[in-house]
Amino acid sequence: MDQTESIMKQVTQVLQHHTPQLQRDDLEDFVEGFLSSEEVLIDLTKQYGSPLYVFESKVFTERAEQLQSAFRGVLPDIRVYYAVKSNNHPDVVQTAVHSGLGLDVSSGNELELAIAVGSERNLFSGPGKTDEELALAVKYRSKVTVLIDSFGELERLNRMATLAGATIRAGIRLTSQEHGLWRKFGIPMSELKKFLLRSRSLPNIMINGVQFHTSWNLNPQRQTSFIARLSEYLQKLDDRFRSDIDFLDIGGGFWPPQGEWLQEAGTSEGRIKSAVTQDAIPSNSDHYRLPAVPIEEFAAQISEAVRKHILPHVDCRIYTEPGRWLCNDSMHMLLTVVDKKDDDLVITDGGTNAIGWERFEVDYFPVINLSRPSLDEHDCMVYGSLCTPHDVWGYSYFGDGIERGDILLVPTQGAYTYSLRQRFIKPLPKFVKIKSRTVPNHSSSDD
């Protein structure tokens, strides 16, 4: 079979297995949950202007409590670290600390933010740490464990620690995929023994853990599979090396419970369609959903894998680094319609530079007209005000019509949006923190 035949066979298989549609009842229940607080949200735009990031601290706190409860119910000796990269606003990060979480940072900037908000427990992960960043980790060594990404980074961290006359705690990142893009992160499992042997010769480095990470997890299959693989390798290590491992960091990547909502262009069959047609704009009825399991199911299956594969060989606690699951539902975007060009085309005052990428061409989130509330959804191009046609908030809206001056809500924009914002063409939105959209007490802070 030549390459063309192979590709056509794969295309046929994709087209035979359609992405599940988002059920209308589920979508309307989601939208209705925001319509009940329309007055509070509209009032925020009157006080602080538009566009506006709205952070609900109570939602974040409740997610933190739910996640910690789920894991501690099955793995009592677990530590949870919030992945700062998912939303790095200081109020969000401080809320994580106040919720009893440690912080997972991926840069010197994020480490300095963690120290500024008073975090005492920090993991420093990520590839390509500079000498300056490693020196910063050494400076704050009483509050930091460095997750080392490579042999070269091990040597450089040891040099920084030696210059400071200090010993620093560290873990080893294992790559979860030895091939493809994820090869960027960590070292192959086959080199773990060599790494542990080298680290034992460096008196300023104290290796006490192992980390891996898989992302975009709608269920725990990839996490439990890697845990099983790791078990096979750990059994081959000498006791002296296994005794170095005080923690196993299973990463994060848990998908929020509503699953992944997609435009047609975000589905496998939609990408094929986009490649052969110029008609890339879906109708308002074409919404899709990849289901995610509840966090309690993640905890149960991961706990079972840990107890079966890890704890018989290594006496360690478990770390986890969720980001998206904690912050996704806690922040929303408020926009104002500044121009109506046609019944099915409006321009808002906020551009998608506020979220940093062309998200809504592939991801689906309902655009809700708070000024004219209704559970009816209408086809309409809802654009931002940037000078690019890719500045799209959605292809439809919920409401009883849409006019200039209307206030629009794009809900659950807490994860990998604010952190990716860009100062491109238009100013960035202001930020307001509220306890809850059902409790109208709030404080404001600029971006």
Of 140-144, 270-274, 302-306, 397-401, the range with the lowest mean pLDDT is 270-274
Where residue 13 falls among pLDDT bands split at 50, 70, 90? low
CATH superfamily label, 22-54+330-445: Lyase, Ornithine Decarboxylase; Chain A, domain 1 (2.40.37.10)
Give the 3-state secondary structure percentages of the chain, helix then strand then coil, rounded to 5: 40, 25, 35
pLDDT at 335: 98
| Cα–Cα separations (whole angstroms), residue 75 to 8, 11, 71, 307, 326 | 46, 42, 6, 9, 19
**Vertex 298, ends 297 and 299: CA angle to 5°?**
90
Average pLDDT over residues 404-418: 98
Percent of the chain with pLDDT over 70: 91
In the chain, the amino acid numbered 262 is L
413 neighbors 365 (Cβ within 8 angstroms): yes
Phi and psi at 433, nearest 5°, equal -105, 130
The answer to whether 386 and 426 are in contact (CB under 8 A) is yes
- pLDDT, position 136: 98
User: How far apart (Å, rounded) are the C-alpha atoms in residues 325 and 255?
Assistant: 6
pLDDT on residue 228: 96
What average pLDDT is seen over the chain? 92
Give residue for tokens 């460095």: 146
CA distance 239 to 248: 16
Domain boundaries, the chain: 22-54+330-445, 58-327
Q: Please state, in angstroms and rounded to a whole number, the distance separating the CA atoms of residues 122 and 147.
A: 10
pLDDT at 271 over 90: no
Q: What is the pLDDT of residues 33-87, one digit of tens each?
A: 999 999 999 999 999 999 999 999 999 999 999 999 999 999 988 999 999 999 9
Fold of 58-327: TIM Barrel (3.20.20)
pLDDT beyond 70 at 260: yes
pLDDT tens digits for range 320-367: 999 999 999 999 999 999 999 999 999 999 999 999 999 999 999 999
Each residue's pLDDT tens digit, 205-235: 999 999 999 999 999 999 999 999 999 999 9
Please, which pLDDT band fits residue 182 given cuts at 50, 70 and 90?
Answer: confident
Q: Which two tokens stand for residue 332?
A: 């929303």
Residue 51: asked if its preceding bond is cis (omega within 30°), the reply is yes
Mean pLDDT of 254-264: 93
Contact status, residue 395 vs residue 380, Cβ threshold 8 Å: yes
Whether the model clears a pTM of 0.85, i.e. scores above it, the answer is yes
Report residue 285 CA to chain centroid gap: 27
